[in-house]
Amino acid sequence: MIQTTGTDTTTTTVIDPTADRALKARHRAMWALGDYPAVAIDVIPELGPALVAATGVRAGDRVLDVAAGTGNAAVPAALAGADVVASDLTPELFAAGREFAARHGVTVAFEEGDAEALPYADDSFDVVLSCVGVMFAPHHERTADELLRVCRPGGRIGLLSWTPTGFVGEMFRTMKPYAPPPPAGAQPPPLWGDEDHVRALLGDRVTDVVARRQTLTTDRFPTPGAWREYWKGVYGPTIAVYRHIGGDPAEVEALDRDLTDLAVRYDRGTGSTVLDWEYLLFTARKQG
Ligand SMILES: C[S@@+](CC[C@H](N)C(=O)[O-])C[C@H]1O[C@@H](n2cnc3c(N)ncnc32)[C@H](O)[C@@H]1O
């Protein structure tokens, strides 16, 4: 249950805590489905290092990776010499994250937390970043407020998000007709990949904004159908949609076809499939 109250100049969103806890429990269960650690390692491993480099993480920085998953950004930040906390809604991912950190010879503190209510004091971190992470928290203003709250004045914010018009944004649009209706007040994840949206969320609380669209290229799938089958087995949001329509073979067949068609449209490979996945890389400094 979400309620919006406001005057001519201000709007306050009131979110029912019981409904919100239930929603977050569903999100946690969804991200624990399948094999997200495989996605991070096999498909998008270059994104964490790209975000850490763009945000200028340095030795000695105290860094918070929000919605960190298995530490795709947290581990490269630790390799840069930072003192890193990896926070996520889904502690089921932390064992894989700790193994990933250990393989690289670094220590990262994995801690459970909701991006919309971060369990940290104001101004605690020099750098706050998130790699295709906070985009999945449903209330964007609340999330943006939290990122800024825990970052110290003059500290840096770095956000990497799938764009609405790129492959992953289109994948979410493709799945939408097959998914249950989103809860009232929840905003679509790929909006975080829209530069204007992120600028509006952070407003004049940040300076030195740099936003650029880049692409991740994956060539690990022999065919569009192979991508779809892999994705159906590992990626929580896709698995959840298939579970929702699981009792209806015609719907399953239609979603199979729509996802394959999406990958066919994007495939620029010859011989094997090559897909470009567009993301927005957004960095800024919190007002000092
Ligand atoms: C696509 S994964 C990205 C994980 C990691 N940052 C990476 O680059 O591999 C999205 C992550 O967001 C987390 N997440 C979703 N909603 C969240 C919330 N409200 N607060 C914190 N984490 C959340 C999920 O548990 C999941 O680990």
DSSP string covering 28-68: HHHHTSTTHHHIIIIISTTHHHHHHHHHT--TT-EEEEET-
Q: What is the pLDDT along the chain (288 residues), one digit of tens a residue?
A: 344 444 433 445 678 899 999 999 999 999 999 999 999 999 999 999 999 999 999 999 999 999 999 999 999 999 999 999 999 999 999 999 999 999 999 999 999 999 999 999 999 999 999 999 999 999 999 999 999 999 999 999 999 999 999 999 999 999 999 999 999 899 999 999 999 999 999 999 999 999 999 999 999 999 999 999 999 999 999 999 999 999 899 999 999 999 999 999 999 999 899 999 999 999 999 999
Report how far ligand 1's centroid is from the alpha carbon of 136 (Å).
Answer: 6
Q: Express each pLDDT in 122-163 by its tens digit.
A: 999 999 999 999 999 999 999 999 999 999 999 999 999 999
The tokens of 147 are what? Answer: 């990122």
Give the integer Cα–Cα distance in Å for 74 and 52: 8
Kindly state if the Cβ of 133 falls inside 6 Å of ligand 1: yes
From residue 1, alpha-carbon distances to 50, 159, 185 in Å are 38, 28, 8
Kindly state if the Cβ of 69 falls inside 6 Å of ligand 1: yes
Give the integer Cα–Cα distance in Å for 262 and 146: 35
Please, what is the end-to-end C-alpha distance for the chain in angstroms?
36
Kindly state if the Cβ of 238 falls inside 6 Å of ligand 1: no
CB 255 within 8 A of CB 245: yes
Ligand 1: which residue has its CA nearest to atom 7? 72
Neighbours of 200 (CB within 10 A): 12
Give the integer Cα–Cα distance in Å for 216 and 43: 9
With residue 196 as reference, give the H or E element that holds it.
helix 195-202
- Which of 31, 47, 75 to mutate to test ligand 1, by most ligand atoms within 8 A of the CB atom? 31
pTM listed for this prediction: 0.95
Give the integer Cα–Cα distance in Å for 141 and 11: 11
Q: Express each pLDDT in 9-30 by its tens digit.
A: 344 567 889 999 999 999 999 9
